[in-house]
A and B are shown apart, each in its own frame.
Chain A
Amino acid sequence: MTARARWGLAMAAAALLAALLAACGGANDARATPASAGGASASSTASPLAGRVSVFAAASLTDVFRSIGSAFSKAHPGASVEFNFASSSALAAQIEQAAPANVFASADVPQMQRLADQGLLAESLAIFARNLPVIVVSADNGAGITTPKDLARPGLKLVLAAPDVPIGHYARQIIDRLAAEPGYGAAYKDATLKNVVSNEANVRAVLTKIELGEADAGVVYRTDALGARAKVKTIALPDGANVVASYPIAIVSGTRNAAAAAAFVAFVRGAEGQQLLQDAGFDAP
C-alpha cells in the first residue's frame, strides 16, 4: 500500500471514528453514568446533582415544562434538562425504538401503559396533573358556533388530532358523550365526525389551524385555549360530556442518570412544579 493510500485510509477511518464518537457522546450526555455525574458535580457544592435529563413530554406541556425546566436548572445548577415535545403517541413510538429518553410525561394513561406493558418504564407511573379538553373556535367565530350541537352542521370544518394522539382520543370520547346527551341524538356522532377535515399530529397543530381560522372548530386542552385566548374562544360543554385528561409521568428503563431523572420527576410533582402547572391552568392530580 502506498503512503498516499494509507493516508486516505487513515482519513476515512478518522472520519468514521469521529462520527461514531459524536453519536456515543450524545448518548452519554443523555444517559450520563452516576460516576461521571459525581465527578462533574464536585465543583458545584450547592447541588449533588449533575448531568442532563432528557425529558420526552406531551405537546400540551410545551410551555409549562419549559418553565419547570428552567426552575429545575436554577434549583440544581449542576443539572440541565433537554426536552422533546410531540404527541404522546409519537413519543411512545420513539421510546419503543430506543430513543434516549430519561423521563416520559404523557397526556394520557394508555400511551404510558403501552410502554409499561413492554417493560420500558423503570417505575410505576404517577399522575402529576389533570387537564380538560375543550372545544375551541377562532376568535371571530366565522361559522357562528354557539353550542357543541353546531359541530354537526353540514359543511362545517372540524379539525381533530389523530385518534391515537391523546387529545384526538379525548375529542372522540367527548363526541360520543355528546351524542348520549338529551337533545343531541344518535345521528350527532356521524354528522360531526363527517365534518372532520384533518387528523393533525398533535394538539398544537390543531390549535394553530384554529388560530389561523383555516378550520371552524377543534378540540384542544383548556390550557392551550388559555395560552391562545386572544385568538380562540372556548365553547362550553354540558357537564355530562366533559372528559378529564390525566397526565402520568415516569422514568424510562435503562436511564443511567437516574438520580437526576428522579429529581426532575420529584420537582414536577413537588410544590414548585405543581404551582407552575396550576399557573398554566392545569389541575392538581
Chain B
Amino acid sequence: MTNPAARYGRSLTPSLASVFATPALLLALFVAVPLVALAARSVNDGEVLDRLTTPFVLHALRLSLVTSTLTLGLALVLGVPAAYLLARARIPGRRMLVLLVELPMVLPPTVAGVALLVAFGRRGLIGGWLADRGLEIPFTTTAVVLAQLFVATPFLVRTLQAGFESVDSLYERVSATLGMSPLRTFWRVTLPLARPALLSGAVLCWTRALSELGATLIFAGSFEGRTETMPLAIITAFESSAGLSGAVALSLILLAVALALLLVVRVAIRQQPLDAA
C-alpha cells in the first residue's frame, strides 16, 4: 500500500468513497422519493385502484401498447439496416447522417410535432399531396405512430450502431470463408453478436415511444381510443374532475410497465451466450 498507484485497481479507495457517497445518496433519494410517493399515494387513495379499470384508462393503455409496439416494429425494420450502414459503410457525409440521427434525440418533442405537422399535415409539404389523394394523417393513430417513430427510432439506431461497431469483423470474415452469404452472415453472426445492443436499443426505443407526449399532442391531437395515449391521458385526467387520483392511477401503470420491462431486459442480456465477444 506504499505505492500510490496500488490504490487504483478495480477497487474503490475508502476516502473517495466517503466523498462521493453523499451526492450519490442525495441523487438516489431524489429519484426514489417521488416514485415512493406515487406508490404510497395509490395505496392510501382507494379511488386510484378503482380508476385502473375504467374504459378511459383501458383505452389509453391499449392504444399506448399498440402504437409503441408498432413503432418498435417499424424502427427495427428501418433502423437495423441504418445502424449497420452507419457502423460499417465508409460513405461520404457519414458524420452528417449521424448528426441527422442524433438530432431528434436532443430536439424538444414539441419541435418534432410542429415539424411533422408542416411536413405531413393537410397543408404540409408532403401531407398536402397526400391529402389531395384522400390520405389525411393528423388526428389519426397513424399520426401517433409517426410521432413516436420520429422521436424514438434514433435511440435504437445509435445504440445498435455502437453495438455493430464493437463486433469484431473477424467473425464475419470467418463466416464468409465457411461459405455463408453476406446476408446470412449478418443474420447468423453479426446480429447475434450485437444482441445486447439490439435489446437495450429496442427497449430505449419502445419506452421512449411509450412516453411520447409533446409531438403526439401537436401532430395527432387527443381523442380517446384513437390518439389519446397514456401520457396524454395523464394530462386529461389531471385536469379533469377526477384530478390527481386519475393521474396517479395512470402514472402507476406506466411505472409498472417500465419497471417490468427493465427487469426483463436485464435478465435477457445476462443470458447472452457469446458474452466473451
Contact = CB atoms under 8 A, between A and B. Distances in A.
B223 A198 contact: yes
A197 B18 contact: no
A2 to B, nearest CB: 6
Contact of B222 (A16, A201, A214): A201
Interface residues of B, number: 31
A90 to B, nearest CB: 4
A1 B19 CA distance: 10
Contact of B15 (A5, A93, A165): A5
Contacts of A198: 139, 220-223, 227
Contacts of B20: 8
Interface string A192-227: 000011111100000001001111000000000000
B235 A201 contact: yes
Interface string A152-174: 00000101001011000000000
B65 interface: no
B123 interface: yes
A162 B221 contact: no
Given A12-B23, A200-B222, A162 B239 contact: yes
A114 interface: yes
Nearest to B242: A164
A43 interface: no
A45 interface: no
Contacts of B220: 198
B243 A96 contact: yes
Interface in B97-145: 117, 121-123, 136, 138-139
Contacts of B223: 196-199
Contacts of A199: 221-224, 228, 236
A2 B18 contact: yes
Interface string A1-36: 110110111001001100000000000000000000
B222 A4 contact: no
A207 B26 CA distance: 45
Contacts of B26: 12, 16
A54 interface: no
B156 to A, nearest CB: 29
B113 to A, nearest CB: 11
A106 interface: no
A207 to B, nearest CB: 14
A5 B19 contact: yes
B123 A2 contact: no
B2 interface: no
A164 B15 CA distance: 57
Nearest to A199: B222
Interface in B213-242: 217, 220-224, 226-228, 235-236, 238-241
B222 A97 contact: no
B244 interface: yes
Contacts of A90: 238-239
A87 interface: yes
B138 A164 contact: no
A275 to B, nearest CB: 32
A274 interface: no
Given A164-B239, A198-B223, A200-B221, A4 B22 contact: no
A89 B239 contact: yes
A214 B138 contact: yes
Contacts of B117: 212, 214
B267 to A, nearest CB: 35
A197 B139 contact: yes
A5 B222 contact: no
Interface in A229-275: none
Interface string B5-24: 00000000001001110110
A201 B241 CA distance: 14
B239 A213 contact: no
B18 A5 contact: yes
A198 B218 CA distance: 11
B121 A212 contact: yes
A209 B240 contact: no
29 contacts: A2-B15, A2-B18, A4-B19, A5-B18, A8-B19, A8-B20, A12-B22, A12-B23, A12-B26, A15-B23, A16-B26, A90-B238, A93-B243, A114-B241, A162-B222, A162-B239, A162-B240, A197-B139, A197-B223, A198-B139, A198-B221, A199-B222, A199-B224, A199-B236, A200-B222, A201-B217, A201-B222, A212-B123, A214-B139
Interface of A: 1-2, 4-5, 7-9, 12, 15-16, 87, 89-90, 93, 96-97, 114, 157, 159, 162, 164-165, 196-201, 209, 212-215
State the 8 A-B residue pairs at the shortest beta-carbon distance, nearest first: A198-B221, A197-B139, A8-B19, A12-B22, A5-B18, A90-B239, A164-B240, A89-B239
Interface of B: 15, 18-20, 22-23, 26, 117, 121-123, 136, 138-139, 217, 220-224, 226-228, 235-236, 238-241, 243-244
Given A93-B239, A212-B121, 14 more contacts: A5-B18, A8-B18, A8-B22, A16-B26, A93-B243, A96-B244, A159-B139, A164-B240, A197-B139, A197-B226, A198-B222, A201-B222, A201-B235, A215-B138
